[in-house]
Amino acid sequence: MQKTKASNIIIFIILLVLAMAFLTPIFVVLMNSFKGKFYISDTPFLFPNSTTFTGLQNYTSGIAKTGFFNAFGMSLFITVGAVAVIVLFTSMTAWYITRVKSKFTNLMYYIFVFSMIVPFQMVMFTMTKTANVLHLDNPIGIIFIYLGFGSGLSVFLFSGFVKSIPIEIEEANMIDGCNPVQSYFKVVLPILKPIAITVAILNVMWVWNDYLLPDLIIGTEYKTIPIAIQYLKGGYGSIDMGAMMAMLVLAIIPIVIFYLACQKYIIEGVVAGAVKG
């Protein structure tokens, strides 16, 4: 017993050191976000002192330069919209292709699964062109593109779950006089809730942080947060490091709040997603 106690303390200390190491990068950025821009690249690991401390100046200039609040709103709009649409429509699709057995639904299922291993670069150019031709190159259109490109994983996860629901429940509804739409909203969707949360979490993590798709489809007219940060870099080499640090902090804050608020679901979602995948 004594031995395990001692080894537990050692492991605890090791973990504590590792945890500190994991947090250091975030801490360094936070520290530098309060320093004048000329001091950041010289001494990134020192605390701000009386000469280097600039208060909130980096934040105000960063917000002004990037239009941070617009970018935040845009990111929020696209993420919420895309995730809502993905959860609603892919669950319907998955329900349909699992319950209606035909050659077509079988084929669809395999194409959805196949799409999961196709890297984005494969369809990058042609998807962008298609979106332009169809006038989907705006914040509403991109939600539609996200639904299309993100449907593979979501349909796959939902299908696995639908298979485990006994079909008798739905048959009983049919006998009670529900049509398929009623039966979907009243019976199937509530049962799908756990996996719907998983799908939503995985998609939030993806859409919120996605850089390339919004950059290519809607360009610089409407910037999301990752794009606003990338464009802060601007021309060759000249970065306002102060504004950059402040923006990095502001970009991290929402996701950390989101994480702490739904931590339980996020970790469960990752596990559920992985086990099915």
Partner 1 sequence: MPTILAFLIAFVIPFVMGIYLSLTEFTTVTDAKWVGFSNYAKAFSNQEFLNALWFTVRFSVISVISINVFAFIFAMLLTRKLRGTNVFRTIFFMPNLIGGIVLGYIWQLIINGILNNYEVTLTSSATYGFWGLVVLMNWQLIGYMMIIYIAGIQNVPKDIVEAAKIDGASRSKILRNVTLPLVMPSITICLFLTVSNSFKLFDQNLALTAGAPSKQSAMLALDIFNTFYGKSGYEGVGQAKAVVFFVLVASIALIQLVLTRRKEVEN
Task: Note whether 200 binds partner 1 by CB under 8 A.
Answer: no
Q: Which is nearer to partner 1, 4 or 176 (CB)?
A: 4
Q: How far is the CB of 168 from partner 1 (least distance, A)?
A: 26
Distance CA 222, CA 9 (A): 52
**Helix, strand, coil percent content, the chain, rounded in steps of 5:** 80, 0, 20
**Would you give the DSSP letter of residue 188?**
I
Q: How far is the CB of 7 from partner 1 (least distance, A)?
A: 9
Phi, psi of 98 (to 5 degrees): -85, -35
Task: Note whether 110 binds partner 1 by CB under 8 A.
Answer: no
Q: How far is the CB of 176 from partner 1 (least distance, A)?
A: 26
Q: Residue 225 in contact with residue 71, Cβ under 8 Å? A: yes
Work out the number of other CB atoms within 10 angstroms of the CB of residue 171. Answer: 11
List 17, 174, 256, 261, residue binding partner 1 (CB under 8 A) = 256
- Count the residues of the shown chain that bind partner 1, applying the rule CB under 8 A: 84
Q: How far is the CB of 42 from partner 1 (least distance, A)?
A: 7
In angstroms, how far apart are the furthest CA atoms of the chain? 78
Chain positions 139 to 198 lying near partner 1, rule: CB under 8 A, are 144-149, 151-152, 155
Distance CA 22, CA 42 (A): 23
Piece in contact with partner 1 (CB under 8 A), picked from 52-60, 172-180, 189-197, 252-260: 252-260
Q: Which is nearer to partner 1, 23 or 64 (CB)?
A: 23
Contact code string over 62-101 relative to partner 1, x by CB under 8 A: -----------------------x---xx-xx--x-----
Contact code string over 5-44 relative to partner 1, x by CB under 8 A: ---x--xx-xx--xx--xx-xx-xx--x-------xxxxx
Distance CA 134, CA 194 (A): 35
Task: Note whether 124 binds partner 1 by CB under 8 A.
Answer: yes
Q: Which is nearer to partner 1, 155 or 170 (CB)?
A: 155
The whole-angstrom distance between residue 174's C-alpha and the CA centroid of its chain comes to 37
Task: Note whether 222 binds partner 1 by CB under 8 A.
Answer: no
Q: Which residue has the tokens 């105000």?
A: 60
Q: What is the DSSP string of 203-265?
A: HHHHHHH--HHHHHHTTTTS--HHHHHHHHT-SSS---HHHHHHHHHHHHHHHHHHHHHTHHH
Piece in contact with partner 1 (CB under 8 A), picked from 48-56, 167-175, 182-190, 254-262: 254-262
List 47, 69, 120, 185, residue binding partner 1 (CB under 8 A) = 120
Piece in contact with partner 1 (CB under 8 A), picked from 53-61, 120-128, 159-167, 173-181: 120-128
Q: Residue 199 in contact with residue 270, Cβ under 8 Å? A: no
Distance CA 191, CA 183 (A): 11
Task: Note whether 126 binds partner 1 by CB under 8 A.
Answer: yes
